[in-house]
Amino acid sequence: MAEYDVVVVGAGTNGLIAAAYLAKAGLNVCLVEKQPFVGGGALTREIGSPGFKHDVTSIGHLLIQPNPLIKNDELGLVSKYRLKYIFPEVCTTVIFPDDRQLSLYYPGVDKTCAAIEEFSKKDAEAYQKFYEWSSTILEMLLPFLYSPPIPFGTLASMLE
């Protein structure tokens, strides 16, 4: 029977990344997944009508872009395996029963707000305010997503 230094349960994006880092560090890793496929949030499958492919879970991996995994290509995903994220202008669309649709756009917020305004000017204004607020918060928090945790009190005082 094989012996492992570590067993990683789940072959979604986080499990795959953790297992790869552990293996790179020289550990003998066993990665297990209950589904007949791997990928988690990075998985696209043909579901429903033939020929129509869908992102099964995550529709955008925005927070992984500044991660050292991608930014510094720590596992060779970009240089060795040619990983490249593609961001279409329209990131997602919702079609309503009355055939109206609402599309969310990359990059920026102007086109998305214009699309929301077709349904509700008030909601478009609220989305604009939320976008501005969350962009400020994200800018402050982003460095902490890829470093050891800091005490909660320190983090809370930063948010004030």
Residue 9 lies in a domain: no
- pTM score, whole prediction: 0.73
Inside any domain, residue 75? no
The residues of the chain scoring below 50 in pLDDT are: none
pLDDT attached to residue 17: 93
Q: What residue numbers bound the domain in which 140 lies?
A: 87-160
Task: Report pLDDT for 65.
Answer: 85
Whole-angstrom Cα distance, residue 27 to residue 155?
Answer: 33
pLDDT of residue 47: 83
Burial of 74 (0-12, 13-18, 19+ CB in 10 A): middle
In sequence order, which residues have a C-beta less than 8 Å from that of residue 23 and are 6 or more positions away?
A: 29
- Count structural domains, the chain: 1
Asked whether residue 159 is assigned to any structural domain, the reply reads yes
Give buried/exposed letters for 86-99 (b at 16+ CB in 10 A, else e): eeeeebeeeeeeee
Residue 148 lies in a domain: yes
Average pLDDT taken over every residue of the chain: 89
Note the pLDDT of residue 56: 76
Q: What is the pLDDT of residue 104?
A: 87
As a whole-number percent, the residues of the chain with pLDDT over 90 amount to: 49
